[in-house]
Amino acid sequence: MRLTVHLAEAKKEKVEVKSKQDPKSTVMKTILMNTLSFSDVQPGDVDRILNEIEAEGHGIPVKHYLSGEKLLGRATCKKKK
């Protein structure tokens, strides 16, 4: 299963990317990492992973879900007539 975690107060990371105008040069770009994804997670490992995220200072986990779980809320697909 895949675990997806949404973070509050996520830290920003600087990443080096190639410039579109000049492919030989690089530009530093700031990216906000507010969603993390983990592969091959067992349901028993979720609490440990959430505690590690907060302990390492990546941010505060606000919402998390496994790929096999249904999300409450509005449907994203069109209704059949």
Q: pLDDT for 24-78, tens place per residue?
A: 888 888 888 888 888 888 889 999 999 998 898 888 999 998 886 666 666 667 7
How much is the pLDDT for 81?
67
Among residues 67, 69, 66, 50, which one has the least CA distance to residue 8? 50
How much is the pLDDT for 51?
93
Helix runs in the chain, H state only: 46-55
How much is the pLDDT for 69?
60
Q: What is the pTM of this model?
A: 0.65
CA dist 50 and 39 (Å) reads 14
- Let me know: does 12 contact 30? Beta carbons within 8 Å: yes
